[in-house]
Amino acid sequence: MSKIEEAVAKIPRKTSGPGCSVGMLLERLPKEERDALARLVDPNANPRIPSTNLQAAISNAYGEDIHRSSVDRHRRNDCRCGRSI
């Protein structure tokens, strides 16, 4: 691991404040829906699906008002939930 990667790895993840809205939605969904949404927001599985499209799909499917930037952060694993689901 490079020095810069080690330095970034040592930066603590934010844990206070409201949770990741995508992660909180995933926690509330039934297993089948949770698994489907988790697959869709996985950037390794679906790198060509823009976060804007995913945000619109989440809004249409679940009636949730989640911002595109929340989807972006979740996909980058840069959110408070750390995509632990």
pLDDT one-digit tens code per residue, 48-81: 889 999 999 999 999 999 999 999 999 888 887 7
CA-to-CA dists, residue 76 to 39, 60, 80, angstroms: 14, 23, 11
Which residue intervals of 42-78 are DSSP H helices? 51-62, 68-75
The per-residue pLDDT for 84 is: 41
The per-residue pLDDT for 24 is: 92
pLDDT one-digit tens code per residue, 6-50: 888 887 766 666 778 999 999 999 999 999 999 999 888 888 889
pLDDT-based confidence at residue 85 (cuts at 50, 70, 90): very low
Q: Please give the Cα distance from 79 to 83 (Å, whole number).
A: 8
What's the pTM?
0.73
Both ends of the chain: CA-CA distance in Å? 26
The per-residue pLDDT for 48 is: 87
